[in-house]
Chain A
């Protein structure tokens, strides 16, 4: 990876305490399954995102393992409860040392 992978995260800017909020995160990644072959019949090595984690003020609120059948540019959507103002950090790790990070802040009133 020459440039850091692009990410898009969608977190509500503000929420009421105790409210269930929806969070969406997308990472730019080709998710090469490892099952495809080139025109010459050579196997294209697997290159996928393996782990996605989201922490909310350093507490893990969501984690997912990715597998070869997942689409390129995987989109993850999940909910959590707004507990306090702070930062959500998103982290993706994958094959060949792939790593991407994003963060978003939320104000809870």
Chain B
């Protein structure tokens, strides 16, 4: 009898364990968020004359050439033609730069402060997002190729741990929705797989272009957790893991999502 109940406990423990540690989505089953949108929204995204993110792209293109800061330098002055020299760059971020883990926005910000000698933008500033959209779009169609710089794996592991960490009053982890229940409905909307292939993107809900960090913070408040602050290392580690999870999938910037 005692042995029997111990076995039961064992089975129970095993099933709890299997709920907590979700297997990764098989590579062949991965779908971009685009897959879960309505045909109308997808048509809007794929037509540059209808996609409102086009404005951010045009603004970024203009900013690339604009001389700013006390160094009176443009992005173009160092990097030249974005179409040529920024191709594939966004597909590698986040990466370690100057010994620090940085996402694309943070890298642009570092250039602005150190090279152009201008005051940093606040997070989610329209111009910062416009430049990130412009740089991101230069990688459109290219596969995500996560950085293999030494030290990145540790950040990705930390990101994975966060992805599987239950958070907030609803006590939910990212994995519980986006690995285990993708394709199901959450308050009338399909749950996507959470592949960050199209950032920065225009969200109809936001009525604006926003970053991946803004989206991650949304999910955190969604499970009623205290969201991480913008730029917090944990968020960038989570980004690193998500980009690795979406490795090989094509970049879709400038994206549009409902």
Residues from chain A with a CB closer than 8 A to the CB of B208 are 30, 72
Known A-B contacts A8-B54, A28-B55; A71 and B207 likewise in contact (beta carbons under 8 Å): yes
Mask: chain B, 53-85; 1 = CB below 8 Å from A; 0 = not: 011001100000000000000000000000000
Known A-B contacts A8-B49, A10-B49, A24-B49; A31 and B207 likewise in contact (beta carbons under 8 Å): yes
A6 & B50 in contact (Cβ 8 Å cutoff) = no
The contact of B58 among A6, A9, A72, by CB within 8 Å, is A6
Any chain B CB within 8 A of the CB of A101? Answer: no
Q: How far is the CA of A8 from the CA of B44 in the complex (A)?
A: 14
A73 & B49 in contact (Cβ 8 Å cutoff) = no
Residues from chain A with a CB closer than 8 A to the CB of B146 are none
Any chain B CB within 8 A of the CB of A75? Answer: yes
Chain A residues 1-38 with CB under 8 Å of chain B are 6, 8-10, 24, 26, 28, 30-31
Closest Cβ neighbor of B56 among chain A residues:
A28
Residues from chain A with a CB closer than 8 A to the CB of B12 are none
CB distance from B18 to the nearest CB of A (A): 43
Q: How far is the CA of A28 from the CA of B207 in the complex (A)?
A: 11
Any chain A CB within 8 A of the CB of B210? Answer: no
Known A-B contacts A6-B59, A8-B54; A71 and B204 likewise in contact (beta carbons under 8 Å): yes
Residues from chain B with a CB closer than 8 A to the CB of A24 are 49-50
Residues from chain A with a CB closer than 8 A to the CB of B50 are 24, 26, 75
CB distance from A106 to the nearest CB of B (A): 16
Residues from chain B with a CB closer than 8 A to the CB of A28 are 52, 55
B55 & A73 in contact (Cβ 8 Å cutoff) = yes
Chain B residues 191-212 with CB under 8 Å of chain A are 204, 207-208
Closest Cβ neighbor of B207 among chain A residues:
A72
Residues from chain A with a CB closer than 8 A to the CB of B59 are 6
B58 & A26 in contact (Cβ 8 Å cutoff) = no
Closest Cβ neighbor of B53 among chain A residues:
A73
Residues from chain A with a CB closer than 8 A to the CB of B52 are 26, 28, 72-73, 75
Q: How far is the CA of A52 from the CA of B140 in the complex (A)?
A: 33
Known A-B contacts A31-B207, A71-B204; A6 and B55 likewise in contact (beta carbons under 8 Å): yes
Closest Cβ neighbor of A24 among chain B residues:
B49
Q: How far is the CA of A24 from the CA of B58 in the complex (A)?
A: 18
A26 & B204 in contact (Cβ 8 Å cutoff) = no
Closest Cβ neighbor of A77 among chain B residues:
B50
Residues from chain B with a CB closer than 8 A to the CB of A10 are 49
Closest Cβ neighbor of A28 among chain B residues:
B55
Residues from chain A with a CB closer than 8 A to the CB of B207 are 30-31, 71-73
Known interface pairs A71-B204, A75-B50; 19 further A-B residue pairs with C-beta atoms within 8 A, sorted by A's residue number: A6-B55, A6-B58, A6-B59, A8-B48, A8-B49, A8-B54, A10-B49, A24-B49, A26-B49, A26-B50, A26-B52, A26-B55, A28-B52, A28-B55, A31-B207, A71-B207, A72-B52, A72-B207, A73-B55
**Can you show 20 pairs from A to B with CB atoms below 8 A apart?**
A6-B55, A6-B58, A8-B48, A8-B54, A8-B55, A10-B49, A24-B50, A26-B50, A26-B54, A26-B55, A28-B55, A30-B208, A31-B207, A71-B204, A71-B207, A72-B52, A72-B208, A73-B52, A73-B207, A75-B50
For the complex of A and B, the 8 pairs showing the least CB-CB separation, nearest first, are: A72-B207, A73-B52, A10-B49, A28-B55, A8-B49, A6-B55, A6-B58, A71-B207
